[in-house]
């Protein structure tokens, strides 16, 4: 399923903070490990799951820690 605005509500509370890998995991309903593996291109992550994670990460504005610097 697609990311909807209600999935992003928890990020609108308080100060704007950097989106973490945990936030992406929570929004997609998978483990932090799965998000990490999907974003790093490991082939053992289901293609559909990988696409969902990438789409969600983009929608949330996730940036890898080295990209934030």
What pLDDT shows up at residue 65? 77
- Global pTM reads 0.72
CA dihedral 57, 60, 9, 16 (to 10 degrees): 130
Distance, in Å, from the CA atom of 49 to the CA atom of 34, rounded to the nearest integer, reads: 9
Q: For each of the chain's 69 residues, which pLDDT tens digit applies?
A: 455 554 555 555 455 678 999 999 999 999 999 999 999 999 999 999 999 999 999 999 999 876 654
State whether residue 44 is helix, strand or coil: coil
What pLDDT shows up at residue 67? 60
């Amino acid at each position: 399923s697609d990311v909807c605005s209600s999935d992003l509500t928890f990020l609108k509370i308080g100060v704007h903070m950097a989106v973490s890998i945990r936030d992406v995991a929570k929004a997609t309903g998978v483990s932090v490990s799965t998000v990490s593996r999907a974003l790093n291109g490991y082939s053992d992550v289901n293609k559909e799951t990988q696409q969902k994670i990438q789409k969600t990460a983009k929608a949330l504005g996730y940036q890898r820690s080295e990209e934030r610097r």
